[in-house]
Chain A
């Protein structure tokens, strides 16, 4: 699974951090998403898919 984020789109709502804290964090300075793990284990697939669905700004892309 490959994950990417578009920082420019992110509005810092933090859903990704709640849904998949293993994969996403937020920058201290402005709350913008940090991708901790661009190729997370398959076990995290549902959590990452949910993060992508919840992201209000369509800033999270997931490829299998």
Chain B
């Protein structure tokens, strides 16, 4: 038996967009293998594409966050209030997910394009009015999803500044585990207050609908409404923001691909799939527990064992020819698992796609001379964060 590898391996500064380099070899040799985590536990690590789809698509693997074998990615206690549909199994998961899917259908999301475009244009108007240089992360990538989610949950207007202040605290990359835990507690209080306000004076936003249609009818407890509002706030903010910032940097590093996109904006939808595949920001946190013995990729995962699915590695599997090449017209790009797979596959993926398409298209069009204002090697990539990102991207144009 091989020696057990330590988990996680981080991405390498030599190639900050690639998955952890050791996983390339591991994927070939042992796409399902045991690793040792910081707390001494030894769950299985899945690095292959087909194996990842198998585990995520099989109901014999549970996503229940209260399971004692669930891999523990963070070193602080996660407040129980924040346990949401992502950490539940069917049928309870499906019941709650179906209350939300109506708001994220292809048709509904397409109808949000003008709203997203307006926010993107407003942010770029300000950027251009102030003139270069700017920080693409603070001035563009983060405010966009935060305003979109604000619209969705009905927190525009005067409450919005407070909302943004609190979201910032939860996503402070430099905070310690305790500070993060405390910030998350503050977020729970904020959202609880927001729900109370909506109960008194409902609007036509997603949160008011949940309260009127589900809470007041007894289908959801008030605590479940808070947990659901929280997941909508958190799951779609940092992820989308990091994708916008990293995608821009990656494209600037590939002038040939950038030129193709500028020449033919019709490539944008597929380019976004390729960027999602290539970067795969959700690098940690995808965990499951086997509730029966299951064989995956020739390896028996016994009942009661934890499993970690490494999405970045799965998306660089040989299923994608020359996976290390960025190709905005890659034919099977959309088969990536950057949004996961199975019944927990990202609820907000259609919205994320719309935001990414509009943000990148508009940015490239309105700032044709966009370039980094620091050497690439000085960009502060967030190697250790659950969702991969970059803390600052100084740009000029």
Contact = CB atoms under 8 A, between A and B. Distances in A.
A11 interface: yes
B342 A56 contact: yes
B98 A32 contact: yes
Interface in B315-359: 334-335, 340-347, 349-350
A3 B101 CA distance: 23
Majority secondary structure, B binding face:
helix
B345 A56 contact: yes
B93 to A, nearest CB: 9
Interface centre among A12, A54, A57, by most B CB within 10 Å?
Answer: A12
A30 B98 contact: yes
B335 A12 contact: no
Nearest to B353: A18
Q: How large is the interface on B (under 10, 10 to 19, 20 to 34, 35 or more residues)?
A: 20 to 34
B7 interface: no
B97 interface: yes
Contact of B57 (A28, A32, A58): A58
Interface in B112-149: none
A36 B99 CA distance: 23
B385 interface: no
A14 B346 CA distance: 11
Nearest to A11: B343
Q: Which of B106, B334, B344 has the most CB of A within 10 A?
A: B106
Interface residues of A, number: 18
User: A-side binding surface: helix, strand, loop or mixed?
Assistant: loop
B104 interface: yes
Contacts of B104: 12, 14, 31
A45 to B, nearest CB: 16
B334 A30 contact: no
A31 B101 contact: yes
A32 B104 CA distance: 11
B105 interface: yes
B251 interface: no
Contacts of A32: 98, 101
Nearest to A53: B335
B338 to A, nearest CB: 12
B397 to A, nearest CB: 33
Contact of B350 (A14, A28, A29, A54): A14
Given A14-B104, A54-B334, 4 more contacts: A11-B101, A13-B345, A32-B98, A58-B57
6 contacts: A11-B94, A14-B105, A28-B102, A31-B102, A32-B101, A57-B343
Interface of B: 56-57, 94, 97-99, 101-102, 104-107, 334-335, 340-347, 349-350
Interface of A: 9, 11-14, 17-18, 26, 28-32, 53-54, 56-58
In the A-B complex, the 6 residue pairs with the smallest Cβ-Cβ separation, listed nearest first, are: A31-B101, A12-B101, A56-B345, A31-B105, A14-B106, A26-B105
